[in-house]
Chains A and B, each alone.
Chain A
Amino acid sequence: MSHRTDLHGDVAEILLDEAEISAKVRELGARISVDYAGRQLTLVSVLKGSLPFMADLMRAIEIPVRIDLMEVSSYGGTATESSGLVRILKDLSASIADEDVLIVEDIIDTGLTLNYLIRYLRGKAPATLRICTLLDKPARRLVEIPVDYTGFTIPDQFVVGYGLDYGELYRNLRYVGVLRPEVYSEVAGG
C-alpha cells in the first residue's frame, strides 16, 4: 500500500460520528445487560476490526462478563493461485461449553466469515450463541444470518474507522467514514 500521511484528509464523508457511535454502544450495552441479567456471559470478539467496539461495549454492559478474542485468516487469493481455507490464527483461550456466548462483530456484509465462525463456535457447545454487530450492510449479504443486536444498518459503501481498515490503515479513526475513491485507485495502482 502506498504511504498515507493524511488520516482525516483521506476520508470523503463521515457516516457515523463519535457521538452517534457512543450513544448506540451505550444503548446496546443496556439491552445486553437486561437480556443476560443473572447469566454468565462471554463476549467473543474477532480481531482486529472489532477491537474498539469490543472495548467500548464491554464497558457499557452492567453485568459481569468474560471476554475472549479470536483471529481468523482472511481471504487474500489472487487470480492465478488458490488461497486455501480460512484458518483460526488465534483460538479462544478458555472453554465456552455451557456458557452464554455473544459474538461481537464490527461489521457484517457477505456473512461468509461470520458463517464460518458460528459453525466453529457451535462445535464448542456453548449454551447459547448470539450475535452483536455494530454495523450491518445487508446489500452485500450472501449468507443470511440472524443478528440479535445491530447498531447501525449502513448503505452499500466501503467504510473505514472505529476498527475498520483499508490496507490495515484507518482503524484508529474515532468515527466511521467513507474513503475518497482516489485512495483506492492509488493503492490499486501500486
Chain B
Amino acid sequence: MSVPFAHASEAEMSRILDFYAVRWEYEPHTFPILWNLDGDVVESFSPDFYLPDLELYLEMTTLRQKLVRKKNRKLRRLRELYPDLNVKLFYARDFRALMLKYGKLALFDGLSGSSGQVASPYEPPAAADLADALPLADVLALAEAPVVAVEPVGDRPTTRRRRGAAASTATKGPSIR
C-alpha cells in the first residue's frame, strides 16, 4: 500500500521513523478548530503524523514563511481547544538538522519548499522483509499487531488512513545520535 504524502519531506520522515521502528499513522485524525454560527466546521487541522506509541502528533512545515505563520496560528488554536494533545511542530530548520545529522544535507534543498511538493508515493517494504531485518521480537510484534483506534481527547476526529512500521534493508549511516 503506498501512502500519498503531500510533501517529500513527509516521505523522508516516514522512512526515518520506520528505520527506528517507531510506528506512525499519516494524517489519521482531523480536528475541527473553527465553526460558524450555525455550528458547521469551517476550519480544521490534520497533523501530518500520529505516533501512537509516543502519543505524539507531528506536523511538518515548509520553508515558506506565509505557510509557517498559518500553521503556527492553527497550532495555537488546536492547543487551546485540545490542551491534552501532544503536538510537535517540526520546522524546516528541524528537518534540515536531521538531514545534516544523517549526512544528507544535499537532499535538503530537493526535499524542502515548493520543489519538494511533488512527492513519490511511499511504498512500504514487504512484510516478509521484516523478519530478516528486525533484531527485536517486540518490534516485530508491534509491526504485526493490529493498530488500535485512537480517540484524541476533546472531540471526535475523522480517521483517514493509518499504517504501522515497516521497512526492507538497513544501511550504515555517517553517525549515530
Q: Residues on A close to B: CB < 8 A?
A: 46-49, 71-80, 82-89, 106-110, 112-113, 115-116, 119-120, 123, 140, 142-144, 156, 158, 164-168, 184, 187-190
- Out of A113, A116, A143, A168, which one reaches B177, CB within 8 Å? A113
Bound form: Cα–Cα A120–B136 in Å: 6
Residues on B with C-beta less than 8 A from A77 are 12, 15-16, 19, 102, 104, 171
> Do the beta carbons of A75 and B177 come within 8 Å of each other?
no
Residues on B with C-beta less than 8 A from A168 are 174-175
B47 shortest CB reach to chain A, Å: 14
- Measured CB to CB, the nearest residue on chain A to B135 is A88
B48 shortest CB reach to chain A, Å: 13
Report 12 cross-chain contacts, Cβ distance below 8 Å, ordered by A residue: A76-B102, A77-B15, A77-B19, A78-B104, A82-B18, A84-B170, A85-B134, A85-B170, A108-B177, A115-B20, A120-B136, A140-B94
Bound form: Cα–Cα A19–B103 in Å: 30
Residues 98-136 of B contacting A (Cβ, < 8 Å): 98, 100-108, 110-111, 120, 123-125, 129-130, 133-136
B167, CB-defined interface residue at 8 Å: yes
- Out of A76, A109, A113, A166, which one reaches B104, CB within 8 Å? A76
B59 shortest CB reach to chain A, Å: 12
> Do the beta carbons of A140 and B97 come within 8 Å of each other?
yes
Told that A79-B107, A115-B22 touch, could you supply 20 new A-B pairs with CB distance under 8 A? A48-B176, A74-B172, A74-B175, A75-B15, A75-B20, A76-B103, A76-B172, A76-B174, A77-B104, A78-B107, A79-B111, A82-B169, A84-B18, A85-B21, A85-B130, A85-B133, A119-B21, A140-B94, A165-B175, A184-B105
- Measured CB to CB, the nearest residue on chain A to B88 is A142
A137 shortest CB reach to chain B, Å: 9
Known: A49-B175, A73-B173. A80 touches B120 (CB 8 A): yes
B92, CB-defined interface residue at 8 Å: no
Known: A85-B21, A120-B136. A112 touches B16 (CB 8 A): yes
Known: A74-B102, A79-B110, A123-B138. A109 touches B177 (CB 8 A): yes
Residues on B with C-beta less than 8 A from A108 are 177
Residues on A with C-beta less than 8 A from B100 are 158, 166, 184
B42, CB-defined interface residue at 8 Å: no
